[in-house]
Amino acid sequence: MAKTNAKPWHQVVQLRDDITNQELSQKQFAADLYDVVMDVNPGVYHDPREFFALTYPTVKLRDLARDVTHRLAGKSEKAVRQLHMTFGGGKTHSLITLVHLVNDPASLPDIPAVQQFKAHCALEGGFPKARVAAVVFDRLDAEMGMEVKAPDGTKAMLKMPWSLIAWQLAGEAGLKLLKQDGTERASPPATGVMEDLLKLARKDVPSVLILFDEVLCLEQMLTTGGGWQDQVGGLTGGIKLVTTRPGLPQVIHVEPVTLSPRTAADLAARLLLVYTGQQRLAKNLLRNVMIRWMTRDPEMVWIQAEIARLAVAMRDALRTGDLDAFGALLSEHWSLNKRMDPGCTNPFIDALFAILDPHINGGKLAGAGGGGYAIVIARSPTAARTLAEMLAARYPGTPVALWPCSVPEEGLSVEIGFGEAGLP
């Protein structure tokens, strides 16, 4: 093997004292955009000099800085950039780089990394100064919200993403622009309102940079926050009252509701499933409900308590064999659903329920209504047969019809078959 004059790496590189002394904390290298913009938990990511001394300006990172700063300087029309990186790929580090480059560009240290960014961006007059707003969704608690800081340093605890942006850009004035009384609004602001907010922020600084991090956390809150009861319903058979305490991890309690033989037979004859033919995306319904719940809309809080009360009342009605009362409670539940989100119904469904009304004690769309099925209690077995004939005559050539349904006594079961060789 040929000899080489290359020196061992440990003779070329001078190691930091905290490495040689084994005192280096891995927490120093855990990038946290929220901590940086809030200026809490100081570390290597907070101070621009220390940050850029440890940052290698890769081509992609320099390209990102160029694209964003050119937009802030008015030299680009592309206003939205979306970073696609694997876990640990440096996304948060990239966002913090942007914060330091435009938050106070006049105070940037004159060190090699900063010089490379300046040369690559090639902006006459240097980096533009921007007001930065950052929404880090893993810090946004669905119950408490998230603390953010206004330009004057005033802090506020807010819940909705648009409120968090408004406060960081313009403080109390920004929040009042979204809603006159200065409280949080439940619905997203229209484009024109957001344009006015950006104009307000740009009165003091020439440009605005809005950053989002850990966005999947919001997706979890809005689209996977519900539906656990469906899994429990499928796993366990029969009618049951399912409860769980708030928070995670969920500890689910399943209470079977035992019916008398007479009630079970009566329910089997009067429980009907009506296909409306009106399907909608359930996650959109859930999103609208979650927005009102996250802002603790007083009506929404009351509705949730009422739904819990109705569940217990339905259990009691079934135990006593009062199917008329059970049907009426279904209708009461449907009224609450429509108050939660008027989008769960439409004129066709309202008209269909009006047609059903003389023949049923009550009913509602099943679940969030996205599947298009309504569950109803017929006034009698005879009424159930009349209803089937009436729907066929009233809605010919349409999907509207009664579907067979029953309450399974057994839940999900898995069977594994083995062949002659003993293999599945």
pLDDT tens-digit series, residues 157-176:
998 899 999 999 999 999 99
Q: Is 140 exposed, middle or buried (0-12, 13-18, 19+ CB in 10 A)?
A: buried
| pLDDT over 80 at 219, yes or no | no
Query: If pLDDT is split at 50, 70 and 90, which confidence band does 257 have?
Result: very high
196-198-203 Cα angle (round to 5): 95
- Give residue 17's pLDDT: 73
In the three-class reduction of DSSP (H, G, I as helix; E, B as strand; rest coil), residue 239 is classed as coil
Closest C-alpha among 378, 373, 383 to residue 403: 373
Task: Return the top range by mean pLDDT from 253-257, 292-296, 383-387.
Answer: 253-257
- In the chain, count H helices and then E strands: 17, 10
pLDDT of 424 reads: 46
Nearest to 161 by CA among 8, 312, 348, 295: 295
Q: How far apart are CA 370 and CA 314, in angstroms?
A: 23
Q: Mean pLDDT across the stretch 367-394?
A: 84
* 142-153: pLDDT as tens digits: 778 899 999 999
Average pLDDT for 56-73: 94
pLDDT at 417 over 70: no
Q: How many CB atoms lie within 10 A of CB 143?
A: 10
Contact present, 356 and 320 (Cβ < 8 Å): no
Q: Is the dihedral of CA 339, 340, 341, 346 positive or negative?
A: negative
* pLDDT for position 281: 47
Place of tokens 């240290």: 109
**Mean pLDDT across 46-53:** 92
Average pLDDT over residues 265-283: 81
Confidence of residue 1 (pLDDT cuts 50, 70, 90): low
pTM for this model (two decimals): 0.54
pLDDT digit string, tens, across residues 310-360: 999 999 999 999 999 999 999 999 999 899 888 788 899 999 999 999 999
Overall average pLDDT of the 392-408 stretch: 87
Confidence category of residue 423, pLDDT binned at 50, 70, 90: very low
Question: Cβ(411)–Cβ(236) under 8 Å?
Answer: yes
Residues 6+ apart with CB under 8 A from 247: none
- pLDDT band with cut points at 50, 70 and 90 for residue 230: confident
- Domains by residue range for the chain, with CATH: 21-220 (no CATH), 257-403 (3.30.70.890)
